[in-house]
Structures are given as structure tokens and as C-alpha cells.
Structure 1
């Protein structure tokens, strides 16, 4: 279903957020060329009782016009008095029932529409309302409502079916509208265009980013259930695309294994990722090392063999010589020891080190439990869709919110690229994002990048990163990094520069790694687009 606005704006209601997500993914039968559209939160100037009434959601499409009232938390009714209890346990009384609120808001909407459109247009629409209690089971009955218009926690779990039944319920009650008729595409288009300016605000980038980050945090916590699976098996191979939470899960597993008194090695290929983890995983019993630094790290820790090994970005381990080297430090070896590998074999293999075909076969001979990580908890749906369309890479499902559109530019000269980069940075800052939320990624070093050609005012606020500065990432300034150094890391806004046109590139790994670093905002400025 199409959502307007594309991301929920200024709602602190978790219940409305739940309904927003369900509406966005709802699959209902569409008729004609016009899609059913859900509008979120509209102030009605002609509400019957209040100067400014608010509709939580309005559905408009060939099926009709339907107002949805959402009440989260606990709901009860005693002697006609309604009580609503929020997630903090605070109770609030209301004189008007949710059903009356929805009906009143619907009449306010119709009064507005009747002043603008003829009866020939409006009579094509079935009209109705629904009430949603997503957090409680509603057992009460009453003459004020029909069960068909209410979705409590049970009905909410089958949201698509409830929505179809709601349409059919009001269709059966429609006066003067044929039972199976639908509004014409032309009529729906007129109403939707009239409503849209009242609903769709221009959401500042800062607000969109905050919403994405909140969703990302919730999803990452949801994925902690996978840690239980990994912890219960002595040998695991966790496979997922960029943004599926591999590093997060690996870090949590390190905390759990060291908490039992085990000496654990956390290995990766990137010195920058190692430096970043050093600061954030300062845990007794845990040693963090790159593959190249294993010998020195073990010597410093005075450990000849570790009780367990965790490998992040394990696609970079896929050389037999590296596997042999790592196995020497694992108690009982890969055959009988305790280990967990987190990898993206499909999209990131071979970026830092060449991959050997027999290496993965070697790991699989030890019969590890395979854990598929399919839920993306970093990138927005817009970013996921763009990467899949441009690069053909599947990064998992769901995504952390809808987010702003991906900005794509393809230019023939560096001068044009510099102008676009400056405009993008201006747009981000004016949109309310801080310098620390922005990272510029390039396949080439800073002194070879178009970044050095920016106006002097930008040079003062751009900080090229290194293996020391990454420890306190993000800095207070806009950061710059080469793409391969930034593997395993992320930021709210990513601007990719100096990269060739994807259509002309045989190896798209750099595109994939760079684009998948963005949590909320992504801009890609490609060169050589003659």
C-alpha cells in the first residue's frame, strides 16, 4: 500500500508506528490502475466538535474512504467511561469512545469533501471507519460498535484479513452503491490529490534519520534471539548480507562467552574494524586481533590457545593458509573446538584478500550449524531497493524504516562531481544533520579524491580518518574514508564519490560495500558517464 507521507512524522505513538508498518506491507486486492493509499495524521479544520480534529489514518482507494482510529496500550470501558492506559502505566479518561471519535472524524472529512466535490464523485465511494487496539485483547460487547470494525491484538495479527473484512462490512451497508462496485480511477485520483497537501509535510532529514535510527535499534535488539542459537551450538556459520547485524551479534556472543571465564579471540581482517572494536569491547578475557596480527596479540595476552574464536567479516578468511594459521590458536582445532564465523560470501568476498574455492569447503567439512541472517537492521527500505536494483544484490528483508530517497548522480567531469558533492553536503547540514553524522567514501585516498577540490569552507570541516581516529568514530567533523577501510562500519549519511558508473564496472564489490554503509541517507556520485 502506498503511504503518505512515506515515513511517519512526529508520532510518539508506538501503536501508530505498528499500524503504519502493517499498512505499508498490507496486501489487499487492488482494482484499476490506482493504488489504495494510506494517509497518516491529518488535522481537519471542519471537524464537527473540535476546531482541529485528527485522523490517525485515512485509507483512500477504489474500495472507498475509511478512517482508522488507533488506541495503543490498555483500553477499558466502565459505565460508559473510557480509560486508556499508556505503556508507562499512566491512565487517562476520555468522555468519547474511540468509535465515536472515528465516526465524528469521518463526518468531519465528508463535510470538507462535500464542499469541494459533486455528489457524482462522492457517491462512488463506500465510506466507513475502523478502530484498532493493537496492544490488548478486547472481550467486551456493546451496541455502540460492530465487531467487524474493531481489530484488537488478535485481529491485528491477521491485519490484512481484517482490512478486507472491514471493506466488505461497509460495502454491505453502503446506501446507493452497488455491492461489488468500486470508485473510478479518476474519482480516486481527484480525492487523493485534494487530500495529499494536508497530509504530506516535508519531513526534515534530521527527523527522518532519527526515525530510521530508532527502528534500527529495535531491530538489532530483536535479532539478539539469534545469539541464543549461536551460543547453544559449539560451531556455527552465520551468513548474511551487509546490515544484517553480524558485527553486533558477534560482539554480543563475545560478551557471553567471556562471561563464563573463557578466553576468546575475536578476529577480523580490517585494522580499522579492529581499532573500533578495541574501544567498544574492552572485556576481560577477550583478545581482538587482525589475521595478520595474531602472533603478536597472542604473545601480549600470554595465551597459546583460546577456548573459543569468533571471526567477523569471515569472507576475508577464505584462504587455506589463513584458516591453518587461525586453527593453531584454537583449543581442539576447528574439528572439535568452539567457534563462530560471521560472513557475507555472496557480496563481499575478495575485496581485501583473494578467495580460494577450497577454503569454504574446508570450513563446511566441520559441519557447523548454519544460521541465516536475512533481516536487514541497518539500511532503509529505499537503500535496500536501490542496491538490489542497481547491483542485483539481495541484502535481506524488512529494513529499518522507509527513509529519504537515494540521491543518484552520474557525471562526466570531476568539476560537475565537485559541485554536486558540495550541494549534497549543504543539503544535509541545512536538513539538520550534524557533521559527525556524515561520511564521504571513496575508492581512492583523500589526496586523489574530488573532495580535495571542494571550496575552502568545506576543507575546514572534513576529517580524513585513520586507524587511530576510527577508535573515537564518529568525529565532530565530516569524515572521509576509503571504502575498503570502512568495511564493517556505518554512519547515518553516506556520500559515495570517485566511483565509476556501475553499468561499466565488472566488479561491483566497492559499490556494494560503500552503499551498504548508510543507515538513513545515501548519495552516489558516479564518474565516467559519457
Structure 2
């Protein structure tokens, strides 16, 4: 670390109630000898609960350091005792300086550093005198108000009186002094730690979200709309739990198996069932004794909800007293047919985000819902990641947030020289995230294409030394997930790595990227080849910036 000579702080003294210290700082700023250093208010810790401070530490590179103890106000000596503004001084003027300089030199020695010499002097900046006190320990070691305009001459003479002859210095003692004083400190928290600290804030319900839950008793059917990260899944889960606490049999229906698995593991209550609507359809057919059919046959999963509604429910009746639907924008017409048959006139709550609608032909039956509510405040994504996600939906982006995210590492665009190098670069990004204090269970690698495509990075099963598991894997919580953006819908991870851009058609880019990016709680990494960067206007502009 290189330290420039002069007085520190540069602009004004550190906060102090002492006008005397302010006067000395002003005098040093204009009168410090060339090539010398001075620090105002240098504090060091001597142990638990024990701190000491020097008003000013002055360093002459070839001569040593001098601790200058400042006593403002009117200083005089009567009956062998010092008085400050007519009040007796206790301790005496030099006592604090002597204690501090011993602690300071000990600290420097512990760092294998040491000045050529050291000493202590006193300054009475608001007391002028022709001759100083004659008490032996302070004689000729005191500066007064009359000396302040002439420090450039007074300080070298004071050093000669206060310090013993210099010896060879040890180590970069001036740089170490500056570090102890601490010119600047920019708080930096590892992204993984930042994500952990944010976790509690994200799960707290705000007034708007509580207003939704307070509607349970008043609205038998409610459609809640909210963008990514506004707390829809949190509210869906809480609403289901409240219905169950009231003694109702409740279905919490999800679209993806990954989300259903996660919610089921996090949400256990008597009378509560968590399932995908199509997985539930299969179970209803089994319970009714109806043939399920071949899972792999064309159209099976699209038709099975309709079959359950028409063939199973007439035999079983309605097994639930209330239904809560999450990711409602992804439910097909047949999915809704089963949900509406299950609910009848019973309570039905649905949570949806039109911005994440992947299938344009699918729609929420709004006419079924007597009341609607809009969540406005996003909680999940860091502002810069959210800004990029908004950009993919054609919304106005927060440019300042984007720049800040790129600068602080929240958002990173990793451009690979070739498509064949993307997997290795993605593995390296995972290593870096682990180095940023993320755990394996904090990271998800998301393909913007599909896991069954022969060229998908997910087909590798691992990236470098890291094994990937699907979003539906039982080892999900402690492992790095490797799955598609669609199968990961509704889920979230502190760190997201987005890839497989070479498989992405331009017309499908917007919604896919929006969904993938909004899974990130703390950091997003976008890994793509240079030739694919040129096809993405948003990323190309950011990468060049």
C-alpha cells in the first residue's frame, strides 16, 4: 500500500468535540513539513473492551513518530497541578499520550515493523505563552497557540527534543500506521453470506401480503396476480396452511413436480395435500379404479386431468374443502377442468404471473374468481438481476441497478470463446460461487432449452467436479441442481447459472430468460459462447459495457 505524505483526513478532521484538535488539524494541513505524515485520531484496541487513542500521530520517515496530545481551552499550572478552563486535569497532559505510544509501538512490533524512534509531546492550541512550563517531564515538549502558524519549523525542533536518536527502521511502518488509522473501508460481504442474511427478510410477510391472507374469511374465490419474487408461493403455502388449521381438507396444486416436491417437504399439516394437478389426476384415477393408461403415450399428460374430472370424480366425490393453485398461468384448459370440478363452489384461491406465461394459448378462467388482488413489491431478485429480467419482457430497465450489479458481482456475463468451452466455464463459475461462500444447495444450473435435447449441457450429468441433480431429486436440498428453467419454475436458489444459449431460438428468448433470471435470490451468472452473444441484444450491450 502506497501512502501519500500530508495530513489525514484530507478534507476535514475526524468528528471531535474538541475545538483544539480542529485547530491543530488546520495548522498541520498548511504547516506539516514536506514529506511528513500526520493522522488525526488514531485508535487501537489493546484487548477486549480496552481501546486507546492518540489525538495526532506525526511521522517523519527518517526521524520516527511523535504522538501529539492536544489539550484545548485555557491551560495553566497552579500549585504543581495542571488546570484546563479552571478545572484540574486528571490525568496529567502527557499521561494518555505515553500510554498510547507504548501500545502503538507494541502493535507495530507485532507486525514486524518499527519506527526509527518515538516520543510524546503536548499541544495547547488555545493557550499562548512566551515560556512553557518547567516541570521536567513536559519542559520544552509543549507547543502553544503561538506555534501553530510556524509548525514547519517548530515540529522538527520538537522531534529532536522529544525523541531519542534514530535507529534503523523496521518494515513498512508508515504504511502500517496508515492501515491502523484506516483511510477507507468499503464493506464487502461474500455473496453467499449476503444471501443468508437476506433470507429472513424475504420470508417476512409485509402489510400487503398480510392483507391477502386476511381475505381468507371474506373471499371464497380469489385470484392473486404478482410478478416474479413478489411472494406468490409463500402466500399460497401460507393460505393452504391457514385453511388446514381451520380443519379443512386442502389441496395445494402446483404445475411443476419440482415445486410440488419442495413445497411438500416444507409444508406438512394434517389435511393438506401438495401435488401437481396432473400427478393428482393419476392418483384420482387409481383411487376410482379407473385405468390410468400408458404414461409415455402421446398426449397422455395433457388428457389425464380431463379423464380424472370425467371418470374419477363422479365416483369419488369432491375430496377437498378448499383448493389453492400456484403458477396458475401455466395450467392448461384440461388442468383447469379438473381444478374447477374439484372445487365446485368451495373456496378456490389461485396465484399467477402473466409475465411468466410460457404457453400463450393457456389462460386463467378469470370469471371463476369473484375477487382479485395484485402484489406489487418484488422480494426475490437483487435489483440488477430483476432489471435484466424486466428487459427481456420489453419493460423499461433500471440502468443504474444493472451497472451496479455488474460492478459488485451480483450479475456476471461469462463469454466463452467457443460453444465447446461453455461447460468448462460453467464449472469454473460454480467453483467461484463456492468460493463466495455459497453452499452446493444454494446453486442451480438452468438450461433455457430442455434437458432432453441431445446438445443440452444437462445431458452431461456433471460440470467439472460437480454432480448435478434434477429439481425433483430427493437430494435436491443439499446438491447443485441442473434442470430446465421450466421445471424450476416456482423454485429459487441464491445463485443461478443460466446456459444452453446455443439451443435457444430468438422468438423464445424473452419469457425463458425472464423465468430463469428471476429464480436468483442473490447472484446470476450467464454463460454463453461469443457467437451466441451476438444474437442477444440485451446481453451484447451489457457485455460491451
Question: Which bin holds the TM-score, normalised by the shorter protein?
Answer: 0.5 to 0.7
Counterpart of 2:261?
A: 275
The answer to whether structure 1 residue 237 and structure 2 residue 223 are counterparts is: yes
Q: Which of 459, 473, 476 in structure 1 is aligned with 2:476?
A: 473
Give the drift of 1:284: 1.6
Deviation at 1:218, TM superposition (A): 3.6
- Tell me if 1:311 matches 2:325: yes
State the shift of 1:65 in Å.
9.0
- Secondary structure at 1:279 match in 2: helix
Residue 312 of structure 1 and its aligned partner are, at CA, apart by: 0.4
Q: Structure 1 residues 262 and 66 mapped into 2: Cα distance closer, same or farther (>3 Å)?
A: farther
Alignment partner, residue 449 of structure 1:
456
Q: Distance in 1 between matches of 2:211 and 2:30?
A: 53
Superposition map of 1:284-323 within 5 A = 284-298=270-284, 300=287, 304-317=318-331, 319-323=332-336
1:256 equivalent to 2:242? Answer yes
The question of whether the paired residues in 1 share the 8 Å contact of 2:469 and 2:476 is answered with: no
The alpha carbon displacement at 1:243 in A equals 0.9
Change (3 A) 1:478 1:369: same
Task: Tell me by how many angstroms 1:376 deviates.
Answer: 1.0
CA 1:387/1:219 → structure 2, altered by over 3 Å: closer, same or farther?
Answer: farther
* Distance in 1 separating the partners of 2:23 and 2:381: 39
Query: What value does the CA root-mean-square deviation take over the aligned residues?
Result: 4.2
Deviations along 1:217-238, one digit per CA (max 9) or x if unpaired, are: 3467973443113453111110
Distance (Å, rounded) in 1 between the aligned partners of 2:344 and 2:23: 73
Q: Which residue of 2 aligns with 1:349?
A: 357
Alpha-carbon separation, structure 2, partners of 1:508 and 1:106: 62
Q: Which residue of 2 aligns with 1:381?
A: 383
Bigger-Rg structure (1/2):
2
Shift in Å, 1:511:
0.7
**Equivalent residue for 1:407?**
412
How does the TM-score come out when normalised to structure 1? 0.55
How far is 1:314 from its partner? Answer: 0.3
Query: Which deviations, in whole Å up to 9, do the C-alpha atoms of 1:391-426 show, x marking residues without a partner?
Result: 435899xx9x98843112344622342343233222
Question: How far apart are the structure 2 equivalents of 1:115 and 1:481?
Answer: 64
Q: Are residue 427 (structure 1) and residue 432 (structure 2) matched?
A: yes
Aligned-partner Cα distance in 2 for 1:267–1:237: 14
Q: Give the 3 Å change call, closer, same or farther, for CA 516–341 of structure 1 in structure 2.
A: same
The alignment status of 1:328 with 2:334, answered yes or no, reads no
Q: Count residues with an aligned counterpart.
A: 342
Q: 1:46 to 1:482 in 2, by over 3 A?
A: same
How far, CA to CA, are the matches of 1:108 and 1:384 in structure 2? 48
What are the equivalent positions in structure 2 for 1:129-144 lying under 5 Å apart?
none
CA distance in 2, matches of 1:482, 1:212: 25
Distance between the aligned counterparts of 1:386 and 1:291, measured in 2? 32
Q: In structure 2, what is the equivalent of residue 529 of structure 1? A: 533
Contact 2:501 2:528 in 1 (8 A): yes
Is the alpha carbon distance of 1:113 and 1:253 closer, same or farther for their aligned partners in structure 2, counting shifts above 3 Å?
farther
Q: Classify 1:111/1:493 alpha carbon distance in 2 versus 1 (closer, same or farther; 3 Å).
A: farther
Q: Distance in 1 between matches of 2:263 and 2:517?
A: 22
Q: Matched residues in 1 for 2:206 and 2:524: separation?
A: 20
Distance 2:424 2:416 in 1: 11
Report if aligned partners of 1:313, 1:488 keep a CA contact under 8 Å in 2. yes
Task: State the 1:266 CA deviation.
Answer: 1.5
Stretches of structure 1 that go unaligned for 5 or more consecutive residues are 1-44, 48-59, 68-101, 119-194
Task: Report the CA distance shift for 1:116/1:204 in structure 2 as closer, same or farther (over 3 A).
Answer: farther
Assess if the C-alpha contact under 8 Å between 1:450 and 1:498 holds in 2.
yes
The CA deviation at 1:271 is 1.8
Q: 1:114, 1:493 → 2: CA distance? A: 53
Aligned to 1:508: 510
For the residue of structure 2 that corresponds to 1:484, the secondary structure is coil
Question: 1:250 Cα deviation (Å)?
Answer: 0.5
The DSSP-based 3-state class of the residue aligned with 1:238 is strand
Superposition map of 1:73-222 within 5 A: 104=17, 198-218=184-204
Instruction: Indicate whether 1:392 and 2:394 are aligned.
Output: yes
Cα distance change on mapping 1:478 and 1:231 into 2, 3 Å: same
